[in-house]
Structure 1
Amino acid sequence: MATAELVLGLLSAGPAHGYDVKRGHDSWFPDSRPLAFGQVYTTLGRLERDELVEVVDRASEGGPERTVYALTAKGRERLARWLAEPIEPAPGGVDEMVRKVVATIRTGEDASAYLARQRAIYLHRIRELKSAEAGGDSSSWLVRDYVALHLDADLRWLDRALDRITEQKETNR
Structure 2
Amino acid sequence: MAILAFLGEQPAHGFALKQRYDTLLGHGRELRSGQVYSTLARLERDGLARGLEVERGEGPDRRVYAITDDGVTELDHWLATPHSPGARASELFTKVVLSLVAGRDAGTFLDAQRATYLARMRELTAARHDGDVVDRLARDYEMAHLEADLRWVEVATARMGEVAARIGAQR
* Same fold? TM cut 0.5: yes
Cα separation, partners in 2 of 1:160 and 1:88, compared to 1, 3 Å? closer
What pairs with 1:17-166 in structure 2 (closer than 5 Å)?
A: 17-31=13-27, 33-91=29-87, 93-132=88-127, 134-136=130-132, 138-165=133-160
So what's the TM-score if we normalise by structure 1? 0.79
Q: Aligned AA for 2:108?
A: A
What is the alpha-carbon root mean square deviation over aligned residues? 2.5
1:94–1:85: structure 2 CA closer, same or farther, 3 Å change rule? closer
1:108 deviation in Å?
3.1
Q: CA deviation at 1:32?
A: 5.5
Residues 87 and 95 from structure 1, CA distance in 2 versus in 1: closer, same or farther, beyond 3 angstroms? closer
Q: TM-score, normalised by structure 2?
A: 0.80
Aligned amino acid, residue 66 of structure 1: R
Deviation at 1:96, TM superposition (A): 1.8
What is the Cα deviation at residue 8 of structure 1? 0.8
Task: Flag the 1:17–1:162 CA change in 2: closer, same or farther, 3 A.
Answer: same
Q: Against the structure 1 CA distance between its residues 102 and 78, is the aligned structure 2 distance closer, same or farther, given a 3 Å change threshold? A: closer
Counterpart in the other structure of 1:12: 8
The 1:110–1:39 alpha-carbon spacing in structure 2 relative to 1, beyond 3 Å, is: same
Q: Structure 1: which 5+ runs fail to align?
A: none
Measured in 1, the distance between the counterparts of 2:21 and 2:140 equals 18
* Counterpart residue identity of residue 83, structure 2: I
- 1:119 CA displacement: 0.9
User: Is 152-161 or 52-61 further displaced after alignment?
Assistant: 52-61
Shift in alpha-carbon separation, 1:115–1:49, aligned structure 2, 3 A: same
Report the Cα distance in structure 1 between the residues aligned to 2:97 and 2:134, rounded to whole angstroms. Answer: 36
Question: How big is the shift at 1:97?
Answer: 1.7
Using CA pairs below 8 Å that are at least 6 residues apart, which structure has the higher relative contact order? 1
Gaps of 5+ in 2: 165-171
Whole-angstrom distance in 1 between the partners of 2:85 and 2:111: 29
Q: Deviations over 1:39-71 (max 9, x none)?
A: 111111111122222222213413122111112
Aligned residues: 163
- C-alpha separation in 1, matches of 2:51 and 2:78: 22
